[in-house]
Chain A
Amino acid sequence: MEVQGPEVREGLLCTAQDRLPGGISREGSMTGRHELGRGYPNLSAAVRDNWLPSEGLASHPLDEHVADSHMDEPLLADIEDEYEGVCAANASSDEYSDVGEDVGGADTEVVFVKEGVCVFPTASRHQRILGRLSLIKQYNCLFICWLPYAAGAVQLEDASGAGQRGDAGGGNGAVESAKDRTMYAVHPIPLSDVRAIHKHTPPLGQHRITLTLATGVSLPSLHFQNGGIKSFLSCLREHGPLVRSADDPNTYLINDTTDPLQRSLFSLELTDVLVGRPPAGASSTYSPFAGPLAAEGDMSLRAQLSELVDRFQQLTQNARDTASSLFSGSMLMGAGGPMAEPHLTAAASTAAAAAATAAAASSTPATAAAPAGPAPDPDSRRSSLEASTDLGVFELIEGGGGAAAAGGSPWSRARPPPPPLSLAELHTFFDADGRMTNFSEFKQRVHDGGVEAEARPEAWKLLLGLHAPGSTRAERQEEVEQRRAAFQRLRSQWRTMLPGQEAKCSKWRERRTRIDKDVRRTDRGLRFFAREKSQAHNMLREMLLTYERYNQDLGYVQGQSDLAAPCLYVMRSAVAESGQLANADALGVEAEAFWCFASLMERMEANFCSDSRAMHAQLLALRSLVQLLDPPLYAHLEAHDCLNFFFCYRWLLLHFKREFGFEEVLRLWEAIWSGVPGLHLYLENWDFDGMLKFCVELSGRLRLEPLLRDADLLASYAAGAGRDIVATAMAGAAAAD
């Protein structure tokens, strides 16, 4: 495929040389790996001089994107920028294998290219070195190569960040990065020098691979920012011996000899850490298998562990920064409320949505037949997992969920959750006067284990701020009385309307009609609300009518009944009698339920505004989180034009109310409300990590009945624009029948 005229090639040549100051490996001798290219000068030259004259490269959007990346506003701009980068990469379908380009004479062929593969030289997310991963075939020998983009193209957010802090370290960052680029470059390494490839595909987080050389050296992880590991591996498999380790499905052994002894030794030693061994057939004076793990192996293990921890920190920090910048940037959620709590709720539920999305991703509807790339991965269908549900058969996206992935998650080893907080235990949080002595500990406890039904009314009132934690029992009793009186006053505003007055108030009549209709279609599956015109129905109706008067600017909006119903259910459970309540008791329950609902609405109000700005902001935040945490899913959604995330609309609006069983919703809500200590969720490192951790743990727990849960998630996933995917998948399945 001849694609470009000589003048363009000329330009490319210059660019290629600019990109590699100091030339290629022959000059470099900083590390062992630089010497690896030594035996292959021709190849190096071929790579340098004929660097991929493939279409799209001359003005690859990613290059432009990288070159423009000196931004003043690192956080937000980075997100935007990354986002565009991914878009651009997808738009140009840069992922392909078997390119068949003739680069360095008759016997050199680039068989795989993946743009935008990056290395994080430090734990700082600001220092990301973007580059191009390729597989090159020469004289029947396959080479792996990763080279960073040009000097100006390196992401130097660190430098701008330093500038903002007022020190003169901007230049330093640049120098360091330039050094890093050459240092981290993986110059063409013959596949025979590679011992193993370890694939890391966490359910949340960037997918990456680590190459371990025959010498035992592990190269820095290569991060695939928008997927592509699968095609990389399948391309490798086509061109060379690649065997999946029997013990660790994420480890691929290269040059695995047929010597069964060697192989079993290898798999024995390599289950936890990749330790190299001499190339097969080489006379080795050093064998890592001669005894217990040699010191070098230990180092390697430690290095890998610390790398893992670094990466993990980086990931959660990225997520936090994303949420932080979005929420502090838009300020929409806070506009309605006097406190920062709306931020908290919004951020928390967005994070939860991200986790749920990731969980759902494990069963994302398949459109295996319609990947955007020109060369569909031949391996994808064979190796992909499938999930069968009511809606059809779905492909499990690579790396998403599943027992294997969960087992690899750093969170899955966390201690089991404590039992729900009982009433007796709740009382241990109070002093003699009934003051809560340690509110944050209480919230943590709720967060970790939930609350037993008995203790729920009291716990919810504390969580929702109806009572100050420092209030005494007597004060709280008094507050209950006050709230009851206030509720009664509010309720009488509409109860005492005269017929003539009502006739003049069309808006009120319209809203009342709606409330009447909607109360009849809220949680009717629940026994509590099953019977029409029951006391529960009437209480729910009165709560909503009273709220309509209480917050006339907002008024009644559909969805409120879904939020009010659990409040009523929980407050009703505070009264022991079953069946019909006496009027006084009913008033008390209704009043407390109303104020719980009103407090919840303080947090959720922005979501219900007709301009939908808050919802759009949250959906945008969610999109960014998914992009960050689950690039393959993001790419999938993008390919199917679902990036508006409208399919999450109901999740966010109703706090996942329709997505889980009623009891689970109560548990989920109290966990969300407990949030994490401190109102400024996103300001503290631990907070967001904690929240994310919770979401993942929770979704794990909710998936105890995996099939049911998957079906639930899928059903909810299918709501909104996600239906497009489902439809496509179903159309595909139907067509295949």
Chain B
Amino acid sequence: MAAFASVISPVCALVLGPLLLALINRTKAFVAGRRGPPLLQPYFDIAKYLRRGAVYGDATSWVFRLGPVVNLTVLFAALLIVPWGAIRSPLSFSGDLIVVAGLLAVGRFAIVLAALDTGSSFEGMGASREVHFAALAEPALLLALAVLARVTGALSLTPIYQGITASAWVAALPTLALAAMTLLVLALVENSRIPVDDPTTHLELTMIHEVMVLDHSGPDLGYIHYAAALKLWILGGLLVGLVMPLRSGALWLDGSAMLLGMAILAVVIGMIESAMARYRLVHVPQFIVGAATLSVVGFILILV
């Protein structure tokens, strides 16, 4: 039973990850008065890319081919460590929260290198923006996780998330709320959502993440899309697991609550994207640093 319970979290992520993107798109379509693509569209897209051949530019080397594979692999690895609310992860060890942040950074590094490998000015521009914002977003993630570690007194993600119960919320409401806000901003920043990036734009000059992957095609692009879905799932799971403090111990109940929470998160992201325009690039750092500051304030609150 314990073995079964521990694979639920990664399996749900692998199967349901792309559905989150579909829900966001459906929400945006609904607000705009459109019907929107089918819920399975992201799966169709990934399947389509996997069936296709890949085209590689003459200027690219093995670094370019390695990027999407490394990126997807590290996200698989991260899924083994990240719990899903009350549902424990297959792997748990002291300090694993730093390993998760590191794995996300490695994936980003691989994609950035692949982008630079093309020698295209577009992709270089995208890589520069991505790294610039990541340098601010990574400390924010670590700060938020540090707050959670401090509140729950644990140093591993699974015990941390098992410690976030209703009573923990009662005891440290402002602190946890501030950390949750940081995680919400990070879910937008790291997954290239509005107001930071625009996942639907066709305008290369304005893109951040999308412009880095312009040269990828076929299975490589499929890996990138799938990895993006998994990343959204991981960061979304960290947020939903925090704000949804149901820890009943019953697998089906905790799992259903998490599923519902993830769906609500997708709708919330869809609503945010429908309600506001993108920031100017120069304002994005303020947005991320502001989010990190919230966690700092939360940390100070718990210390005093």
Q: Do the two chains bind?
A: no
